[in-house]
């Protein structure tokens, strides 16, 4: 996903509030993170559609309709991101069930990151966790690349399983993502916080 901190138009206090929101989320203070992200957007309204971090915080705060709207907005600035479609699906699934979420899955054609299109196919009901793992290993990737691929595979398989009611399998996969495949990215913090907040 696009980094908020690469957006050149951040002005005034927006960057400060984003930093505070990020730190609050990483500490498990989800409601505080939303307040800080909202302050960032108030300081720089053009930031609003880019703010996928806010969408994730909304998910963990149980504000699923706002979460859905955030990811629909993000689609307008980042149209080929499987992660955006997945988080939208997760928000919808929590309110209306997985069948409705699948029918409303945001269209994605060309996320070039392996195995993200296979992840997308799984959320569409056209693939399986086994195929996602196989895709992640395809082409004999270097160890570092395989590490990243397997992190995202376990995370998004786990979230998929949780949405379908498979809490035990979900906990196992998201636990593996956090502990076995740490990556230097916000999404690793998402896996870590998920494991703390979702029991």
pLDDT, position 2: 45
pLDDT, position 12: 54
pLDDT mean across residues, the chain:
94
Provide the percentage of residues in the chain whose pLDDT is more than 90. 91
- For the cut 70, the answer to whether the pLDDT of residue 83 exceeds it is yes
Phi-psi group of 126: left, alpha or beta (phi > 0 → left; psi -120 to 50 → alpha; rest → beta): alpha
Band of residue 198 on the pLDDT scale cut at 50, 70, 90: confident
pLDDT, position 10: 45
Provide the greatest CA pair distance for the chain.
47
- For the cut 60, the answer to whether the pLDDT of residue 82 exceeds it is yes
pLDDT, position 184: 87
- CA 180, CA 78: separation in Å to the nearest integer? 29
Read off the pLDDT of residues 2-39 as tens digits, 9 standing for 90 and up: 455 545 444 458 989 999 999 999 999 999 999 999 99
Work out the average pLDDT over 56-73.
98
- For the cut 70, the answer to whether the pLDDT of residue 124 exceeds it is yes
Q: What is the total residue count of the chain? A: 199
Q: Which two tokens stand for residue 150?
A: 């397997």
pLDDT, position 199: 67
pLDDT, position 13: 82
- CA 81, CA 49: separation in Å to the nearest integer? 14
- For the cut 70, the answer to whether the pLDDT of residue 168 exceeds it is yes
- CA 156, CA 74: separation in Å to the nearest integer? 19
């Amino acid at each position: 996903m696009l980094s908020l901190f690469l957006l050149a138009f951040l002005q005034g206090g927006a960057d400060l509030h984003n930093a505070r929101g990020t730190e609050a989320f990483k500490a498990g203070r989800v409601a505080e993170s939303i307040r800080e992200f909202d302050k960032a957007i108030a300081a720089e309204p053009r930031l609003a559609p880019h703010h996928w971090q806010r969408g994730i915080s909304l998910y963990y705060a149980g504000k699923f309709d706002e979460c859905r709207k955030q990811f629909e907005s993000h689609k307008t600035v980042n149209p080929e991101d499987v992660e955006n479609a997945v988080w939208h699906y997760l928000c919808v699934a929590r309110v209306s069930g997985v069948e409705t979420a699948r029918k409303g899955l945001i269209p994605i054609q060309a996320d070039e990151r392996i195995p993200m299109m296979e992840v997308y196919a799984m959320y569409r009901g056209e693939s399986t966790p086994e195929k996602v793992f196989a895709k992640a290993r395809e082409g004999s990737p270097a160890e570092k690349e395989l590490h990243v691929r397997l992190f995202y595979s376990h995370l998004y398989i786990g979230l998929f399983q949780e949405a379908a009611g498979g809490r035990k399998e979900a906990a196992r996969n998201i636990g593996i993502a956090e502990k076995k495949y740490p990556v230097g990215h916000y999404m690793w913090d998402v896996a870590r916080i998920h494991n703390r907040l979702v029991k």
